[in-house]
Amino acid sequence: MKTKLTLLLLLAVTICRAQLPAADAVQTSKGPLSIQPLNHATLSMTWNGKTIYADPYGGAKTFQGIAAPDLILITDIHGDHFDTTTLGTLDLSKAIIVAPQAVIDKMSEKMKAKAVAVANGQTVTKLDIAITGVPMYNLPESAESRHPKGRGNGYVLKFGDKTLYISGDTSGIPEMRALKNIDVAFVCMNLPYTMDIKEASAAVLEFKPKIVYPYHYRGQNGLSDTEAFKKLVNDGSKSIDVRLRDWYSVK
């Protein structure tokens, strides 16, 4: 009976994991970087024996079969990025949390003890990863903006000789368009919260990452047309590898 129960649990985990797109591997000067798209703005990465979560969201089911985090990156205060319920289900015993001050201000005292504040333009190094906070905000800027400049962070991460960009919730801002030498980028596209696929593709064609993942593409009217985004990018530059993954398979 015990063996049967164990097999059923393993089968259940396998079925849940089968919903996820396969992890991608990017070779770096310090070993492979494994990238696992998960849910909406959530991804995990494994590098140099360490596991990194970005914007953990969606509950414990999102992370079935994935190692406990050594590093967590949080971009903004909104619940699909700073999800206290999901954070409460995770094993944070060894985790360092990197976040903007606005997020840390909303944390419990216990979580604050694990947190490192990073502002736009600031760089810290954790687990041999250089982490730079970069702006993320809506255009045009206004007092009613969902994402005012300076509150949240996108992130540029340095894994050995490879550089990875996580946009956070943003328009196609000048700071994004001015990025250089980005190997892998995660770029949001969901109206009315961030930008549409035309603005996103135009920004990508300016900073020209080698690989780009459209992510965070669920808006008020459903999912953005990522196939159309891919076409817009590749019509402008066939050298950019646009990787379409299902970020909404975990229910």
Q: Per the structure block, which two tokens stand in for 113?
A: 């003890």
Per-residue pLDDT, 250: 72
| Residue in this structure with the two tokens 């999901």, named with its chain if needed | 86
Question: Which pLDDT tens digit goes with each residue over 149-176?
Answer: 999 999 999 999 999 999 999 999 999 9
Per-residue pLDDT, 6: 42
Residue 188 CB contacts under 8 Å (≥ 6 apart), including other chains: 41, 167, 168, 169, 170, 194, 195, 200, 215, 216, 217
* Secondary structure of 182-218 as H, E, C letters: CCEEEEECCCCCCCCHHHHHHHHHHHCCCEEEEECCE
Q: Are 61 and 87 in contact (CB under 8 A)?
A: no
Neighbours of 90 (CB within 10 A): 18
Per-residue pLDDT, 10: 45
Full set of structural domains in the chain with CATH: 22-242 (3.60.15.10)
Per-residue pLDDT, 251: 61
**What is the C-alpha to C-alpha distance for residues 46 and 162, in angstroms, rounded to an integer?**
14
Per-residue pLDDT, 142: 85
Per-residue pLDDT, 17: 46
Weakly modelled stretches of the chain, pLDDT under 50: 1-3, 5-18
Per-residue pLDDT, 86: 97
Per-residue pLDDT, 18: 46
Per-residue pLDDT, 143: 78
